[in-house]
C-alpha cells in the first residue's frame, strides 16, 4: 500500500531544534573509543569519508585498527553472501580476534553490525554471535534501519521505503520477497518476532518513538535506555538525521552511566554515532588519482553489475544508451553449468579487453532472468557461483581499466576482495547519495584506482549513467 509521504511527515511533531552533532563528535573523541563496523557488504560505507575499510580480520589487522587514532574503521565481512551458520561463525571469529588484539592496547571499543536498510541480512544470527563474545553484560540491542540517503524511514515502528512521493511499507516491497532474506512484516516489532522465530515477543521489544525524540529530546531517550536490560531489542524511529542525532545523544548519555549496547543498524546511524559532520558529494577533480595519466587518449572504465533487483535493471538499460559504452550480458545459465562456464568467462574477458583497449567503457551485467533452482543448488549457492564467475572474469583480466564501478553489494565485495585483492582501501566519500567511492591500496591488483561501490537498491534510473559521466569529466 503506497502512502503519500507528506501525509505522514505532516502528522509528526517539529524536529528537535538543537544541532547535537558537534557535542557527539567531542564526546566520541574524548572517550578515545574505537567504533568498529562489521559490514555485511561494502555498501555500508555510503555515509562516511576519509576512513579505512579492511577486508581481513587477523589479529594483526585488528591490532592495526585499534592502534590508529581515527575513531572509526570498517571491516568488510561480506557475510550476506554466506549461509547463516557461516556468517555466525565468521562474526564470532572476528570478535574473538578483536579481544586478542586489544590485549596490547586496552582501548575501549564498540561494535556496529551494519546491514541492509531494507532489512535483508543475518539477523539475529550475527547479533547473537557478537552478544556471546562480550565479556560485559549487554543491556540492549539497538535496531535502526533508518537510512536517509536511500529513503528508508521508520515511523510508529513501521519501516518504509521511499519511492517518488510515496512511502511503501518495507514488507510490501520486492526486497521483502528476497529469495534468501525474505520477510512479511513491516512493523519492526513483528519483524523481530518473525526473524527470531517467536523467540522474542512483540511486547518485549522496546520502542523509542518520534514524539519522544522530537518533543522530549536526548534526556528522555536516555531515561528509556537506562531501563533496557537483558539484551532487550530497542527499535529507533527516525525520519531524518536530526532524529538520529537526538537518539545518539541520549544513547551516549546512557552509555556514560554504564549501560551497554550492541548496534544492528543501517549506514546513517554510523555517521552520527561517529560524530561525522555531513559532507558534500565528491567533485570530479577528487575522482582522478594523482598518478592518473593526462588525457592523451580517453581513459576507459569497467562497470560490473550483478544485482538483479528491478532498480538495477532499469539503471542498466539507461546506461546502455550512453555514448562510448560497450555492453555484454553474462549468461547466468552458462556460469552455473560446469561445461559452459570457462567458455563464457573467456568470451566476456575478450569482449572487455577489446573495449578497454579502444578507449571504450565496458558494461558487464548478468542476465536478468533470476534462477533460484538448478541441480539441487539453493538460491544462495547459485548466487555464490554467479558471483565467483564475475570474480574470475575481472581477476584474470589482462587489461587495466582506469576505474571500476561494481553494482550490487555481494558483487562489489567479491570484486574488491577476490578480484582486486584489496586488503585495505580508503573511503573517499560519496559520488551520489548513498554511493561510496574507494581508492584501492598498494597490495591491490591495480593500485590507486577509483572503485565505486554501487548498492543494488540505491539511485534513480539514470544513477549509473550519472556516475559514469562524473568520472569521465574528471579526466577532461
Gyration radius of the chain's alpha carbons: 22
Q: Are residues 451 and 310 in the same domain?
A: yes
* Domain of residue 314, residue span: 284-474
Does any domain span residue 397?
A: yes
Q: Are residues 269 and 413 in the same domain?
A: no
What pLDDT, on the 0 to 100 scale, is given for residue 372? 57
The mean pLDDT of 159-174, rounded to a whole number, is: 96
Residue 186 C-alpha from the chain's centroid:
20
66 with 97: CB under 8 angstroms? no
What pLDDT, on the 0 to 100 scale, is given for residue 312? 82
- Residue pLDDT, tens place only, 383-425: 788 888 899 999 999 999 999 999 988 888 899 999 999 999 9
The mean pLDDT of 158-164, rounded to a whole number, is: 96
Q: Are residues 302 and 378 in the same domain?
A: yes
Residue predicted with more confidence, 327 or 296? 327
Q: Are residues 246 and 333 in the same domain?
A: no
- Residue pLDDT, tens place only, 138-150: 999 999 999 999 9
Q: Which of 236, 253, 273 is the last residue of a domain?
A: 273
pLDDT tier for residue 217 given thresholds of 50, 70 and 90: very high
What pLDDT, on the 0 to 100 scale, is given for residue 295? 46
Does any domain span residue 278?
A: no
Does any domain span residue 112?
A: yes
Indicate yes or no: pTM above 0.95.
Answer: no
What pLDDT, on the 0 to 100 scale, is given for residue 273? 98
What pLDDT, on the 0 to 100 scale, is given for residue 375? 61
C-alpha cell at 105: 592496547
Q: Are residues 19 and 88 in the same domain?
A: yes
pLDDT tier for residue 458 given thresholds of 50, 70 and 90: confident
Q: Are residues 296 and 247 in the same domain?
A: no
Q: Are residues 383 and 468 in the same domain?
A: yes
Query: In the chain, what percentage of residues exceed pLDDT 90?
Result: 80
Does any domain span residue 279?
A: no
Q: Which of 251, 273, 295 is the last residue of a domain?
A: 273
Does any domain span residue 246?
A: yes
- Residue pLDDT, tens place only, 111-134: 999 999 999 999 999 999 999 999
Does any domain span residue 96?
A: yes
**Using CA atoms, how far apart are residues 2 and 163, in angstroms rounded to an integer?**
9
**Using CA atoms, how far apart are residues 146 and 161, in angstroms rounded to an integer?**
10
Q: Domain containing 356 — which CATH number?
A: 3.40.980.20
- Indicate the number of domains in the chain: 2
Q: Are residues 246 and 290 in the same domain?
A: no
Q: Are residues 247 and 393 in the same domain?
A: no
The mean pLDDT of 357-370, rounded to a whole number, is: 86
The mean pLDDT of 198-224, rounded to a whole number, is: 98
- Residue pLDDT, tens place only, 289-324: 766 555 445 689 999 998 767 788 899 999 999 999
What pLDDT, on the 0 to 100 scale, is given for residue 381? 79
- Residue pLDDT, tens place only, 65-100: 999 999 999 999 989 989 999 999 999 999 999 999
Q: Are residues 356 and 261 in the same domain?
A: no
Q: Domain containing 104 — which CATH number?
A: 3.40.50.10840
What pLDDT, on the 0 to 100 scale, is given for residue 367? 81
Q: Are residues 27 and 151 in the same domain?
A: yes
Which residue's entry shows cell 578480484? 419
Residue 74 C-alpha from the chain's centroid:
10
Q: Are residues 39 and 170 in the same domain?
A: yes
Query: In the chain, what percentage of residues exceed pLDDT 70?
Result: 96
Amino acid at each position: 500500500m503506497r502512502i503519500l509521504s507528506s501525509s505522514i511527515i505532516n502528522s509528526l511533531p517539529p524536529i528537535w531544534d538543537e544541532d547535537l552533532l558537534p557535542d557527539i563528535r567531542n564526546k566520541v573523541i574524548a572517550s578515545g573509543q574505537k567504533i568498529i563496523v562489521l559490514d555485511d557488504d561494502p555498501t555500508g560505507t555510503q555515509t562516511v569519508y576519509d576512513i579505512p575499510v579492511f577486508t581481513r580480520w587477523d589479529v594483526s589487522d585488528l591490532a592495526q585498527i585499534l592502534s590508529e587514532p581515527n575513531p572509526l574503521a570498517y571491516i568488510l565481512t561480506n557475510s550476506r553472501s554466506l549461509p547463516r551458520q557461516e556468517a555466525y561463525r565468521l562474526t564470532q571469529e572476528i570478535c574473538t580476534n578483536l579481544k586478542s588484539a586489544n590485549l596490547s592496547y586496552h582501548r575501549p571499543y564498540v561494535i556496529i553490525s551494519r546491514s541492509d536498510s531494507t532489512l535483508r541480512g543475518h539477523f539475529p544470527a550475527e547479533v547473537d554471535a557478537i552478544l556471546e563474545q562480550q565479556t560485559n553484560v549487554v543491556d540492549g540491542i539497538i535496531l535502526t534501519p533508518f537510512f536517509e540517503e536511500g529513503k528508508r524511514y521508520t515511523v510508529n515502528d513501521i519501516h518504509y521505503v521511499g519511492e517518488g512521493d510515496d512511502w511503501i511499507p518495507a514488507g510490501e516491497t520486492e526486497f521483502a520477497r528476497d529469495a534468501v532474506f525474505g520477510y512479511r512484516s513491516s512493523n519492526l516489532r513483528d519483524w523481530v518476532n518473525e526473524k527470531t522465530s517467536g523467540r522474542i515477543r512483540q511486547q518485549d521489544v522496546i520502542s523509542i518513538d518520534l514524539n519522544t525524540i522530537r518533543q522530549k529530546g536526548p534526556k528522555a531517550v536516555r531515561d528509556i535506555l537506562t531501563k533496557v536490560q537483558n539484551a532487550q531489542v530497542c527499535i529507533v524511529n527516525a525520519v531524518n538525521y536530526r532524529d538520529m542525532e537526538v537518539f545518539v545523544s541520549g544513547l551516549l548519555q546512557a552509555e556514560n552511566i554504564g549501560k551497554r549496547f550492541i548496534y544492528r543498524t543501517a549506514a546513517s546511524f554510523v555517521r552520527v554515532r561517529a560524530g561525522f559532520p555531513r559532507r558534500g558529494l565528491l567533485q570530479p577533480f577528487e575522482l582522478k588519482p594523482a598518478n592518473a595519466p593526462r588525457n592523451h587518449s580517453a581513459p576507459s572504465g569497467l562497470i560490473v553489475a550483478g544485482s538483479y533487483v528491478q532498480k538495477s535493471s532499469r539503471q542498466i538499460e539507461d546506461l546502455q544508451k550512453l555514448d562510448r559504452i560497450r555492453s555484454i550480458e553474462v549468461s547466468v545459465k552458462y556460469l552455473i553449468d560446469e561445461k559452459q562456464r570457462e567458455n563464457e568467462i573467456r568470451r566476456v574477458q575478450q569482449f572487455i579487453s577489446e573495449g578497454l583497449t579502444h578507449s571504450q567503457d565496458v558494461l558487464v551485467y548478468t542476465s536478468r532472468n533470476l534462477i533460484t533452482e538448478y541441480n539441487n543448488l539453493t538460491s544462495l549457492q547459485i548466487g555464490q557461483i554467479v558471483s565467483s564467475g564475475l570474480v574470475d572474469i575481472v581477476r584474470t583480466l589482462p587489461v587495466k581499466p582506469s576505474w571500476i564501478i561494481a553494482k550490487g553489494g555481494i558483487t562489489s565485495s567479491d570484486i574488491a576482495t577476490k578480484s582486486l585483492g584489496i586488503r585495505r582501501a580508503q573511503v573517499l566519500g560519496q559520488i551520489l547519495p548513498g554511493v561510496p567511492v574507494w581508492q584501492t591500496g598498494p597490495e591491490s591488483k591495480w593500485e590507486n584506482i577509483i572503485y565505486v561501490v554501487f548498492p543494488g537498491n540505491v539511485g534513480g534510473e539514470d544513477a549509473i549513467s550519472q556516475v559514469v559521466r562524473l568520472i569521465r569529466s574528471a579526466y577532461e
